[in-house]
Amino acid sequence: MIKAFIERVLPRKKAVRVEHSGKALGIHSEHMSKNAVYVCDKLQRAGFEAYIVGGAVRDALLGVIPKDFDVATNATPEQVRHEFRRAFIIGRRFKLVHVTFGDETIEVSTFRSNRGGEVESDATGRITSDNVYGTQAEDAARRDFTINALYYDPGKDVVVDFMGGLKDVEKRTLRLIGAAETRYREDPVRMLRAVRLAVKLNCSIAKATATPIRQHSELIKNVPPARLFDEIQKLLLSGYANATLAELRKHGLAEGLLPLLDLIYQQPGGQKFIELALDNTDRRVREDKPVSPAFLFASLLWHQVVKRWGEIEAAGEHHVPALMLAMEQVIDEQRETITLPQRFAGITREIWLMQPRFEQRNSKAALRMVEQPRFRAAYDFLLLRTAAGEVEQELTDWWTHFIESDPDIRQELINQRQRAQARHSTAPAEGSGRRRRSRGGRGRRRASGGADGEPSGAPGLGE
Ligand code: ATP
Ligand code: MG
| 125 C-beta neighbours (distance < 10 Å), count | 21
- Report pLDDT for 258: 62
Q: Work out the number of other CB atoms within 10 angstroms of the CB of residue 412.
A: 12
Regarding the beta carbon of 190 and ligand 1, being less than 6 Å apart is answered yes
- Check pocket membership of 365 for ligand 1, CB cut-off 6 A: no
Residue 159: what pLDDT?
97
CB 442 within 8 A of CB 418: no
Using an 8 Å Cβ cutoff, are 172 and 202 in contact?
yes
pLDDT by 10s per residue, the chain, length 463: 454 444 444 445 567 899 999 999 999 888 899 999 999 999 999 999 999 999 999 999 999 999 899 999 999 999 999 999 999 999 877 899 999 999 999 999 999 998 766 677 788 888 877 678 999 999 999 999 999 999 999 999 999 999 999 999 999 999 999 999 999 999 999 999 999 999 999 999 999 999 999 999 989 888 888 888 888 888 888 999 999 988 998 998 877 666 556 666 666 667 788 888 889 899 999 898 888 888 988 988 888 899 899 999 999 999 999 999 999 998 888 777 777 778 888 999 999 999 999 998 878 888 889 999 999 999 999 999 999 899 999 999 999 999 999 888 998 898 888 888 788 765 554 544 444 443 333 333 333 333 333 222 222 222 2
Q: Which pLDDT score, from 0 to 100, does residue 153 have?
A: 97
What does the pLDDT read at residue 450?
A: 33
Question: Is 66's C-beta closer than 6 angstroms to any atom of ligand 1?
Answer: no
Spacing, Cα 148 to ligand 1 middle (Å): 7
Active site residues: 68, 70, 144
Mutate to test the pocket of ligand 1, among 148, 177, 232 (most ligand atoms within 8 A of CB): 148
Nearest-atom index, ligand 1, CA of 187: 27
Confidence at residue 179, expressed as pLDDT on a 0 to 100 scale: 96
> What's the confidence (pLDDT) of residue 202?
96
pLDDT tens digits for range 158-195: 999 999 999 999 999 999 999 999 999 999 999 999 99
pLDDT the model gives residue 261: 62
State the Cα–Cα distance between residues 139 and 67, nearest whole angstrom: 22
Most ligand 1 atoms within 8 A of CB, residue of 70, 111, 186, 223 to mutate: 70
